Copies of this chain bind each other. A is one copy, B any other.
Amino acid sequence: MDTFPAEKIQAASSGLRAIAHELRLAILCHLSGGPLTVSELLARTGANQSNLSQHLAKMRMLGVLDCERRGQQVTYRLANPAFAQIAEALKAIYCASDTEQNSGDPAACPNPSPTQRSTP
């Protein structure tokens, strides 16, 4: 996959920023099952009202969520169902059925590593 036009990268990274936060990802996951009102999200996430509202606003402004008011309740939904696929991919990565994920040292790498010659 190299065909991601450079001009779109900026927009896409904004979209990612919109969900790259513990609470906002939780919101995404909950909304992947269908629209929910703020109260429902409040109950499911256990978040602080003001804080939740701010995060919802950010997700909306960054184009991840749409919302609609009905009386005094506001319902939020994914602006694009493909956002749920991102949650799916994450689940595949972080909820692998195996016992453990990656046994290696996360920081292990380049300079510290032992020499490996390309032409032994």
Q: Which residues of A contact B (CB under 8 A)?
A: 1-6, 8-13, 15-17, 19-22, 24-26, 29-30, 32-33, 57, 60-63, 66-71, 74, 79-80, 82-95, 101-102, 104, 106-107, 109-110, 113, 115-118
The residues of B that contact A95 with a CB separation of less than 8 Å are 4-5, 8
CB pair A11 B61 closer than 8 Å:
no
CB pair B2 A26 closer than 8 Å:
no
CB pair B29 A4 closer than 8 Å:
yes
Taken together as a complex, chains A and B put the C-alpha atoms of A106 and B91 apart, in Å, by: 28
- Residue of B3, B32, B79, B90 near A12 (CB, 8 A) is B90
Which residue of B has the minimal Cβ distance to A72? B118
Minimum CB–CB distance for A44 against chain B, Å? 9
CB pair A3 B91 closer than 8 Å:
yes
The residues of B that contact A93 with a CB separation of less than 8 Å are 12, 15, 80, 82-83
CB pair A19 B21 closer than 8 Å:
no
CB pair A86 B84 closer than 8 Å:
no
Taken together as a complex, chains A and B put the C-alpha atoms of A17 and B16 apart, in Å, by: 8
